[in-house]
Amino acid sequence: MSYPGPHFDSAPPRRRPRARTVALAALVPGALLGWLVYEAVGAPGSGTDGAAARPSSTAAASPTGSTGSTDPASPSATAGDDAKKPGAPSPASGSGPLKGKTVVVDPGHNPENVRHTAEINSKVDIGTNWKECDTTGTSTDAGYAEARFTLDVARRLRTLLEEQGATVRFTQDGDRPWGPCVDERARIGNEAHADAAISIHADGAPAGDRGFHVILPASVHSGSADTRPIVAASAELGERIAGTFVRVTGSAPANYVGDGTGLDTRKDLGGLNLSTVPKVFIECGNMRDSKDAALLTSSGWRQKAAQGISEGIVSFLHGS
């Protein structure tokens, strides 16, 4: 999500924030084991897909036994082909541990933002200050866009959550010409009275910066922003997602933010500042690093990412 250019919600200069205690018994051992596999083969659980992210005109992503698009850079490979078509309504939730729960999923950016720069560069009030409505997002060196990645993972996540009985609502499903702006993204979760909300992203940090991190809302009370009622619940949600993401994907917490906890707290993101329901962001990996890009372009790994996020949400909502 953070990358050069006039983009909304870009990350502040890299820093070493105060480390947060994050269910270390679950997170750190899994992170160390996952990191060893991560370094050794590049794409855990994806067969020969670890070599897929070499800078080229296309990026192959066809892990053994995986489903979905085989070439994320191909125009015919739309995000989440094997999950749900764009704009399809969420079916009524069935039975399961999340029956009666509502989850709002926010696929970061929009594939069409690039065609609407004037609209997404307009400023909106995020409480602490004014920021751009949205951004285009980042991409891998081979051209696989963050906005396509986020839609694919979001659609996979929706399927998994609905199987658990949840009602799932998207902020956008590739069915809008651009946006929505960050204030509307937050408002969708608020008006749905979501039990949990998550915004899905991939980072655009320098090559060599690797791993995932979950962004938590800081305590903000300024203008229209007041996160104080949701800070504690959001932190619990983020900690649970970080722990399950490590275990399911085999990826390690980011080596460039969060002091190895996989958690970062920020007050400059409108989608968090304006939320009145428990909400976090997840940066699933760094698109500008070739090893992380090999994972992000793998259909099999994206399914694992969705599974890891889903299990964290289920744990949070089910109280287990």
Domain boundaries, the chain: 24-53+60-84+95-318
The C-alpha atoms of residue 269 and residue 128 are separated, in whole angstroms, by: 9
Closest CA to 152 of 49, 60, 77, 249: 77
pLDDT for 100 equals: 97
Minimum mean pLDDT range among 67-76, 95-104, 115-124, 281-290: 67-76
The C-alpha atoms of residue 3 and residue 10 are separated, in whole angstroms, by: 7
Residue 169 pLDDT > 60, yes or no? Answer: yes
Mean pLDDT of the region 194-201: 98
The tens digit of pLDDT for each residue in 95-126 reads 899 999 999 999 999 999 999 999 999 999 99
Mean pLDDT of the region 164-182: 97
Answer whether 163's CB lies under 8 Å from 169's CB: no
Q: Which of 132, 162, 283, 311 is catalytic?
A: 283
Domain at 24-53+60-84+95-318: CATH code: 3.40.630.40
The tens digit of pLDDT for each residue in 219-276 reads 999 999 999 999 999 999 999 999 999 999 999 999 999 999 999 999 999 999 999 9
Answer whether 266's CB lies under 8 Å from 283's CB: no
Minimum mean pLDDT range among 52-66, 150-164, 176-190: 52-66
pLDDT for 95 equals: 81
Answer whether 140's CB lies under 8 Å from 296's CB: yes
Place of tokens 């104080």: 228
Mean pLDDT of the region 58-73: 33
Residue 288 pLDDT > 60, yes or no? Answer: yes
Strands 130-132 and 123-125: antiparallel
The C-alpha atoms of residue 294 and residue 308 are separated, in whole angstroms, by: 18
The C-alpha atoms of residue 210 and residue 31 are separated, in whole angstroms, by: 13
The C-alpha atoms of residue 180 and residue 277 are separated, in whole angstroms, by: 18
Residue 91 pLDDT > 80, yes or no? Answer: no
Task: For residue 283, indicate whether it is catalytic.
Answer: yes
The tens digit of pLDDT for each residue in 177-190 reads 999 999 999 999 99
The tens digit of pLDDT for each residue in 7-51 reads 334 444 444 444 444 443 344 444 444 444 444 434 333 332 333
DSSP collapsed to 3 states, the chain: CCCCCCCCCCCCCCCCCCCCCCCHHHHHHHHHHHHHHHHHHCCCCCHHHHHCCCCCCCCCCCCCCCCCCCCCCCCCCCCCCCCCCCCCCCCCCCCCCCCCCEEEEEECCCCCHHHCHHHHCCEEECCCCEEECCCCCCECCCCCEHHHHHHHHHHHHHHHHHHCCCEEEECCCCCCCCCCCHHHHHHHHHHCCCCEEEEEEEECCCCCCCCEEEEEECCCEECCEECCCCHHHHHHHHHHHHHHHHHHHCCCECCCCCCCCCEEEECCCHHHHCCCCCEEEEEEEECCCHHHHHHHCCHHHHHHHHHHHHHHHHHHHHCC
Q: How confident is the model at residue 1 (pLDDT cuts 50, 70, 90)?
A: low
Q: How confident is the model at residue 137 (pLDDT cuts 50, 70, 90)?
A: very high
